[in-house]
Amino acid sequence: MGADEDAVEEFAAWMRALHREAKKPSYTEIVRRIRAADPHASIVVSTISETLNGKRLPRWTTVEPIARALGGTDAVQECLNRWKRADAARTTAAPPPPAAPGRVVAADPLSGPGQDTIDPDTAPKTAPPATPQPDRPPRRKPLLVGRAGTAAAVGLALATWLTLPLWDGEDETPTGRTPSSTASDNTPATPGPGSSPAGRAPTAGASSAAPEEAISEAFRAGTHRAELVASAGESWSTPDGRVSITVPGASTVGDVQVLVITPSTSCPEVSLAMGEALVIPETPGPSWTRITPVRAWTKEIPSVETKFPDIHVRLQVDQGTGPVPRGKSCEQ
């Protein structure tokens, strides 16, 4: 494991410790806190999972609202300092050693213009002649490379250079001031002339950040089944990670409460009867999600006296595109 990977893992371990100090709220609860402070925040469950598991070092604009939701304002400055150290270790990784240059041989004055010379020691050797060697070996002349060979080599190098990405949008420079809300992750900073985003060393009070990778997989239409226990604090997410569902403890067998979070909507607790559908369209976008409770039952534990047995709820979750089906909305 390289130094940059060690730094990212160390930062993720500190974030997990902050999560434990906050009594380990569910990822859905963290998203709810973030969007309560900033309704336009783009943080989803999969982003929090990647941050705490150390899969990569996210942008500071992604980390800051998570730290604020877990530890408040006091944790944000400490988180920023640790994030800068991890980012500095990642961006200052040692480059690979350059290839050893070849020995330069002076040009033969008889070779004429428009031609290069090659060191005879590095030129391909031919098989020795079968005839006996003369007493005085013939003079070895440098091999000449024609103008056509030089042009071909230069053309190949130029074509290779043109195919390399000149900028991948990795730059983002946070300042020591802690932002009050989550900024958009889609606006990369423009690198200066002659600079390289991957190899630029951070400056005091500012640092380049890794690009915000896709926070969830592409939308996938389909039908899914979710089973949750009310009051257990469980949350269920669709396979693409875009929709998170929680069943609060106020649910009953005949009246199921659901709390839903999507990339564009935080749907508060909505009461649904058996077979009644909650429909949430995405804004913007042609996709939609429909959530329908199909079964609810209690499950008592033998030899354990309780006035409020656990309520198990089974939901059918449909995702599709095109015309939005009928159903209850978040405002109802």
- What are the beta bridge partners of residue 19? none
How far apart CA 260 and CA 109 sit, in angstroms, is 81
Question: On the CB side of 119, how many CA atoms lie within 13 Å of its CA?
Answer: 7
Read off the pLDDT of each residue in 6-22 and give the average, rounded to a whole number: 92
Q: Which amino acid is at 23?
A: K
More confident residue, 281 or 234: 281
Residue 147's φ and ψ, nearest 5 degrees, are: -60, -30
Span of 143-147, 266-270, 321-325 with lowest mean pLDDT: 143-147
Average model confidence (pLDDT) across the chain: 69
Q: Give the pLDDT confidence score for residue 230 in this predicted structure.
A: 72
Q: Which amino acid is at 88?
A: A
> Does position 294 have pLDDT exceeding 50, yes or no?
yes
pLDDT (tens digit, 9 = 90+) per residue, 50-106?
999 988 899 999 999 999 999 999 899 999 999 999 999 877 654 555 555 544 444
Name the 3-class secondary structure at 100: coil
How far apart CA 60 and CA 77 sit, in angstroms, is 12
Record the pTM: 0.39
> H/E/C letters for each residue in 186-197?
CCCCCCCCCCCC
Q: Which amino acid is at 331?
A: E
How far apart CA 283 and CA 241 sit, in angstroms, is 17
- What are the beta bridge partners of residue 267? 260
Residue 271 binned pLDDT confidence (cut-offs 50, 70, 90)? confident
Name the 3-class secondary structure at 5: helix
Residue 217, C-beta contacts closer than 8 angstroms, at least 6 positions apart: 239, 240, 241, 242
Q: Give the pLDDT confidence score for residue 222 in this predicted structure.
A: 86
DSSP code of residue 204: T
Q: Tokens 């200052």 — which residue?
A: 92
Q: Give the pLDDT confidence score for residue 90 in this predicted structure.
A: 77
C-alpha dist (Å) from residue 300 to 29, 152, 249: 27, 80, 16
Q: What is the CA radius of gyration of the chain?
A: 31
Residue 128 binned pLDDT confidence (cut-offs 50, 70, 90)? low
Q: Residue 297: enclosing H or E segment and its boundaries?
A: strand 287-299
Selection from 167-171, 305-309, 315-319, 320-324 with the highest mean pLDDT: 315-319
How far apart CA 247 and CA 311 sit, in angstroms, is 10
How far apart CA 7 and CA 56 sit, in angstroms, is 10
Read off the pLDDT of each residue in 193-206 and give the average, rounded to a whole number: 40
Q: Which amino acid is at 246?
A: T
Read off the pLDDT of each residue in 113-132 and give the average, rounded to a whole number: 50
34: closest CA among 244, 176, 180, 223? Answer: 180
More confident residue, 11 or 305: 11
C-alpha dist (Å) from residue 192 to 27, 225, 297: 38, 50, 62
pLDDT (tens digit, 9 = 90+) per residue, 237-247?
888 787 888 88
